[in-house]
Amino acid sequence: MSTQQEQQAQQDQRIEENLKHIKHRIVIFSGKGGVGKSTVAVNLAYAMKNRNHKVGLMDADITGPNIPQMTGLTGSPKIHEDGKRFYPQEKNGVSIVSMASLMPPDTALIWRGPLRSTVITQFLGDVLWGELDHLLADLPPGTGDEVLTAAQRMKPQTAVVVTTPQDVSLADCRRAVTMAKKLEIPRIAVVENMSGLICPHCDKSIDIFDSGGGEKLALETGATFLGRIPMEIETRIGGDIGQPAVLHRPESATARAFEEIATQLASLIKS
C-alpha cells in the first residue's frame, strides 16, 4: 500500500470513529444561493440545543463561511496535543467548526472543488467532535463537489432543503431534493424561508416572494414539509452582529417558527 493510500485509510478510520459518537447527522443545503440557508442552519442548531441536545454545527461552505459572524464566534480552535487534530469551538452551547476561524479575515480562498472537498473531509475526520446528538452541516448552495463529498463521507440520515417561495428558487431546490434522493439520504425535508415580511409597524405579513411554494414542493417530491419562516428586520440585523433570533429574540415570530420546525424535525428523525 502506498503512503497516500495509507493516509487515506487512516483518515477514513478517523471519520468512521467520529461518526460512531454522533447520533444524527443532518445536511442543510439548497439548490441556489440567497435563500437564507445559513440563517436556517444557525437558528435550527440553537433551537435543537434548547431541547437539551448536544449539537455540533459544521460550516461546510468553505469559500463563503458565515457561521462565525452569524453566531458571534471569535478566536481560533484549540489544537490537539498530536498537532494534527483540533477541537471545535463552542458558542452558547453549540460546537462549531468553520474555515473562517482558520484563516485571516478577508482572505479569499481561490480553490477548486477537490481541494474544498478535502477540507470537508478533514472537518469530519480531524475535528474532535466528541459525543453529539446532532451534527448539522451548512453546505454551500447548488449540487457541486462539496455537497457530494459531505453526503458520501458524513453519511447523513436527514437532508433539509431550504427554499424561498418564488418559482425561480423552487425550480433549483427541486433539483436539490432530487440529488438527496439519488444520494439515498433516508429522510428529506423542506423549509420555506422568507415566507412573508412581518411589517415592523402593523405586524401584518406581506408576501413579497409569494407563499406556500415550499409546501407545494414537498408534496410534489414526497419530502416532509417542516414549516415556514417569516422575514423580520431584526432577524437580519441579528445575523449580522452574531445574535441568532432563537437566542436573542425568542419571542419573535422568526424564533417561534424555528422552534416549531425543530419540533417537526425531531419527530421526523424519530420516525
Mean pLDDT of 24-33: 90
Asked if residue 26 has pLDDT above 90, the reply is yes
Name the least confident of 51-60, 195-204, 222-231.
Answer: 195-204
Question: What's the gap between Cα 215 and its chain centre?
Answer: 20
Per-range mean pLDDT, top range of 25-34, 172-181, 241-250: 241-250
Residue 1: its pLDDT value, please?
61
Residues paired with 225 in a beta bridge: 190
Asked if residue 173 has pLDDT above 80, the reply is yes
Task: Evaluate whether 213 touches 167 at the Cβ level (below 8 Å).
Answer: yes
CATH class of the 15-270 domain in this structure: alpha beta
pLDDT tens digits for range 183-223: 999 999 999 999 887 878 888 887 877 778 889 889 999 99
Residue with cell string 423549509: 191
Domain layout of the chain by residue ranges: 15-270
> What percent of the chain is modeled with pLDDT above 90?
62
Residue 128: its pLDDT value, please?
96
Give Cα separations from 162 to 25, 76, 110, 208 (angstroms).
17, 29, 26, 17
Mean pLDDT of 127-145: 91
Mean pLDDT of 115-136: 94
Task: Evaluate whether 259 touches 50 at the Cβ level (below 8 Å).
Answer: yes
pLDDT category of residue 250 using cuts at 50, 70 and 90: very high
Residue 201: its pLDDT value, please?
80
pLDDT category of residue 17 using cuts at 50, 70 and 90: very high
